[in-house]
Amino acid sequence: MIQFIVEDRDGTRRPVEIPEGMGLNLMEVLKASEYNILATCGGMALCATCHVHILEGEDKLPPVSDAELDILDTLPSAHANSRLACQLRVEETIEGAVFQIAGEEN
């Protein structure tokens, strides 16, 4: 199992557990876990509505791709720890990380 923590917009933190090898990205897992995320473009790194801040565990994550940076740059609220949940695969690199939901509400 892969476990990580999600902090919702109101500050509540909840652990999320996902079996390994499901081939899902973080956006899909957050949506399936009933988090209020728009994910307009469906995972193409085009809309930035699945924006998350990495509060802990940033160093273990794979680097940001150019396509992801392109879109993050259009976000006025982006910080140095901003990522698009749809571009993060749910695998051991995110074990123990803390994600804060930052995208617009549905």
Instruction: List residues near another protein by CB under 8 A.
Output: 38, 40-42, 44, 46-49, 66, 69-70, 73-78, 104, 106
Minimum CB distance to another protein smaller for 40 or for 81: 40
In the complex, minimum distance from the CB of residue 92 to another protein, in angstroms, rounded to a whole number: 30
Minimum CB distance to another protein smaller for 63 or for 76: 76
Burial class (CB within 10 angstroms; exposed 0-12, middle 13-18, buried 19+) of 79: exposed
User: Between the CA of residue 67 and those of 1, 9, 81, 82, 102, what are the distances in Å?
Assistant: 29, 26, 16, 14, 19
In the complex, minimum distance from the CB of residue 39 to another protein, in angstroms, rounded to a whole number: 10
Minimum CB distance to another protein smaller for 20 or for 70: 70
**Residue 85: strand, helix, or coil:** helix
In the complex, minimum distance from the CB of residue 60 to another protein, in angstroms, rounded to a whole number: 23
Cα 54 to the center of its chain, rounded Å:
8
In the complex, minimum distance from the CB of residue 3 to another protein, in angstroms, rounded to a whole number: 27
